[in-house]
Amino acid sequence: MAEILRQKISNHPLFEDVERFVVIDRIAENADVAQIVIDARLEYEKDGQDVSSNFKTRIQNWIVGNHYQVVVRDQNNEPIPNPEYDPEENPDVSEFLTMPAFDYFHSLILANQVPLLTLLSINVLNDDEKGAFNF
């Protein structure tokens, strides 16, 4: 299967000399059910050698849907502040603007605001920053 994207992420948190890559093999968007299904895996390398067989590689159930919210970001990948955020008067309001995940990514793709591969790469790096691939 051809790779759509191979994105370097942070090294393994326990084995710091092991490099990691997220490899996306397939993307299937279904607007009827408001989902983007991503088939992806992790690859691991140490000293330029593939050591993936020693680690969990499959990224399970990577589904972008409206069942969760994502932070809306500007052209520099910075979170956009929520003008209604006031920790004293509105403590339940998010500090940053959010949208349902599928609606947000689908709108970016349709508007051609961000090329798909760039969008995927940025979001893989954002997820890596949050520890999403530390399993």
String of DSSP letters for 59-128: EEEEEEETTSEEE-B-TTSPBPBPTT-BTTTBTTS-SB-EEEHHHHHHHHHHTTSS-HHHHHHHHHHHHH
CA geometry: angle at 97 spanning 35 and 120, to 5°? Answer: 45
Type of residue numbered 34: A
Q: How far apart are CA 116 and CA 110, in angstroms?
A: 10
The answer to whether the Cα torsion of 16, 134, 118, 45 is positive or negative is: positive
> pLDDT (tens digit, 9 = 90+) per residue, 96-112?
999 999 999 999 988 88
Asked if residue 134 is part of any domain, the answer here is no
Q: How far apart are CA 44 and CA 13, in angstroms?
A: 12
How much of the chain exceeds pLDDT 90, in percent?
82
Asked if residue 135 is part of any domain, the answer here is no
Asked if residue 118 is part of any domain, the answer here is yes
> pLDDT (tens digit, 9 = 90+) per residue, 30-73?
989 999 999 999 999 999 999 999 999 999 889 999 999 999 99
Domain with 60 in it? 5-129
Q: Which residue do the tokens 């593939």 mark? A: 50
The pLDDT score that the predictor gives to residue 90 is 86
Task: Give the number of other CB atoms < 10 A from CB of residue 17.
Answer: 9
Asked if residue 46 is part of any domain, the answer here is yes
The count of domains in the chain is 1
How far does Cα 128 stand from its chain's mean position?
A: 7
Asked if residue 14 is part of any domain, the answer here is yes
Asked if residue 119 is part of any domain, the answer here is yes
